[in-house]
Amino acid sequence: HHHEQIHVMPEHENLNQTPTPLEVRREGSNVYIKMTAQITDIEINEDYTYKAWTFNGEAPGPLVVVEEGDMIHFTLENMDPAMDHSMDFHAVHTAPNKGFANVPSNEEGTFVYKASSPGVFMYHCGTDPALLHIANGMHGTIIVKPKGGYPTDDEVAREFVVIQNEWYEYNDIENMTNGVPKHVVFSTKALHDGQANTNGVVGALINQPFQVKAGEKIRFYVANMGPNETSSFHVIGTLFDDVYIDGQPANHFEGMQTVGLPASGGAVVEFTLKDAGEYKFVTHQFNHVQKGAVGKIIAYDG
């Protein structure tokens, strides 16, 4: 059943805040980032519009990219009239009761921490109950680029971001806790100029497939938001020649068919599409494909 209206909070009725662009400004190795917590409708499927709790009106939230060693000066503006929200970046070291503290409605909070470890990391609202805030849309990906790069940087011709997340019955913590996901989806965020930027909606990466050349090496930065499920990430018609677990250059695997990601795990996966044609990617937990977890790459003759 679809009963998304039932659990809408009174303060959120008729509220649909326009997406707010991510603000990023760099001064040397200091990076000033501003994000919002806001309530924005996301059309997960033609029959399921979700009044999502979001960062910046996107779910997953905007992609954040910094360099290893950067000092992040992060500001969260909480535009939600109904409750506190917060930000937990998996990429940083901070005391959560201070660095990831709640920001009340209509207030701003600023937090400073260093991105000391390279990789592909989850971020999310950590306000209690975190399951509800994550499942309602408050999650995203931060990439911390390794100082020394990846050993395979020279081979890679093109790179993309792929994010997996689940959706449940609207704002229904009982369903989120004991049920199975209603939808499992992939989305992408623009890492380079001209790339698509989608929400985690059914068909996002079928309708806007990635475009590459046959024979070139492709890199995906993959991140699994959960909140509950693991991922078995796989690209049909190829193998991963190189894999870096959590995007850490030291955690190197080769020749993998499928990468298992725990809830909130990440990976860099690199592969080649040998021949021109259409290649789908999935979590090989095929019950989740049935619910939306499939995307497409089109490889053109080089």
Find the binding residues for a second copy in span 104-123 (CB under 8 A): 117-119, 121-122
Rounded least distance, CB 167 to Zn ion, Å? 8
Find the binding residues for a second copy in span 167-196 (CB under 8 A): 173, 176-178, 180
Residues in contact with 250: Cβ distance below 8 Å, sequence separation at least 6, in sequence order: none
Find the binding residues for Cu ion in span 62-121 (CB under 5 A): 85
Is 48 among the residues that bind Zn ion (CB under 5 A)? yes
The answer to whether the CB of 77 falls within 8 A of the CB of 33 is no
Find the binding residues for a second copy in span 74-93 (CB under 8 A): 88, 90-93
Is 260 among the residues that bind a second copy (CB under 8 A)? yes
- Cα–Cα distance measured from residue 49 to residue 268, given in angstroms and rounded to the nearest whole number: 31
Find the binding residues for a second copy in span 9-68 (CB under 8 A): none
Q: What is the widest separation between alpha-carbon atoms in the chain?
A: 55
Is 288 among the residues that bind Cu ion (CB under 5 A)? no
Is 67 among the residues that bind Zn ion (CB under 5 A)? no
List helix spans (H) across 179-235: 204-207
The answer to whether the CB of 295 falls within 8 A of the CB of 207 is no
The answer to whether the CB of 137 falls within 8 A of the CB of 130 is no
* 62 cis-preceded (ω within 30 degrees of 0): no
Find the binding residues for Na ion in span 275-294 (CB under 5 A): 285
List the single partner that 133 binds among Zn ion, Na ion, Cu ion, none, CB under 5 to 8 Å by kind.
Cu ion
Which structure tokens are listed for 256? 């993998």
**x/- string (CB under 5 A) for Zn ion, residues 226-245?**
-------------x-x----
Look at the block and give the residue holding tokens 């990219």.
65
* 129 cis-preceded (ω within 30 degrees of 0): yes
CB atoms within 10 A of CB 188: 24
Rounded least distance, CB 15 to a second copy, Å? 25
List the single partner that 55 binds among Cu ion, a second copy, Zn ion, none, CB under 5 to 8 Å by kind.
none
Question: Which residue's Cβ has the minimum distance to Na ion?
Answer: 241
Is 127 among the residues that bind Cu ion (CB under 5 A)? yes
- Cα–Cα distance measured from residue 240 to residue 281, given in angstroms and rounded to the nearest whole number: 12
- Cα–Cα distance measured from residue 60 to residue 124, given in angstroms and rounded to the nearest whole number: 9
Rounded least distance, CB 26 to Cu ion, Å? 25
Complex with a second copy: residue 48 or 253, whichever CB lies closer: 253
Q: Given candidates 87, 125, 261, 268, which one binds Cu ion under the rule CB under 5 A?
A: 125
Residue numbers at the binding site for Na ion (CB under 5 A): 229, 241, 255, 285
Residue numbers at the binding site for Cu ion (CB under 5 A): 85, 125, 127, 133, 138
